[in-house]
Amino acid sequence: MKWVKNAFVAWLMCGQAATAWALPWDQDMVDQPSAKPQESIAPPEPNAVPVTGGEFLPAPTSEAEIFDAKDAAAVIPNPVPANAESIARGEYFYRINCLVCHGAQGHGDGPVGQKFTDPTPVDLNEDYTQDQADGQIFFTLTRGRVAMPFYRDALSQQERWDVVNYIKNEFGKK
């Protein structure tokens, strides 16, 4: 008789274990509060949100406007002197962002660049690139080209000018 009582208690406990999984705490991970980046409140400190600055290059909307804007960018002066510090920073950002397509020597033979057939990445050693004004190369970095992505959001203006200085000083040396 004692074994019947023990079996009944064991059966009752097994039934309760299955019921326990249906209790409210099994939804804790689902029901926890989560904040999305878009839902956060802007910091209330003064000057927390910039109201000045930003890009000074207009966004072209057609291929003709892209060529016109690139030509117009030739007059944009490079505000960053091409000194050793700027060139070193430019090399750092080139290796992170540009090397995969343009390659270590700038020939357009990087590991990702070799996958492109039409158009292939530009050889940064060619006169086509080296003869461009700094502002035109900056424009290309900012707005991108046919297969080249834009780096307006990935690199600050200072960092893009550093890359321009690196490209002009490192590649195209005869």
The residue among 120 and 48 whose pLDDT is bigger is: 120
Confidence band of 67 (pLDDT split at 50, 70, 90): confident
Tens of pLDDT, residues 102-157: 999 999 899 988 887 778 888 999 998 899 999 999 999 988 887 888 888 889 99
Measure the CA–CA gap between 15 and 68, rounded to whole angstroms: 76
Q: Quote the pLDDT of residue 160.
A: 94
Cα 27 to chain centroid, rounded: 36
The domains located in the chain, with CATH, are 63-170 (1.10.760.10)
Interval 109-121: pLDDT, tens: 999 888 877 788 8
User: 43 or 64: whose pLDDT is higher?
Assistant: 64
Q: Enumerate the H helices of 21-156 as residue ranges.
A: 28-31, 63-72, 84-97, 99-102, 127-130, 134-143
pTM of the model: 0.66
pLDDT digits (tens, 9 = 90+) for 69-92: 888 889 999 999 999 999 999 999
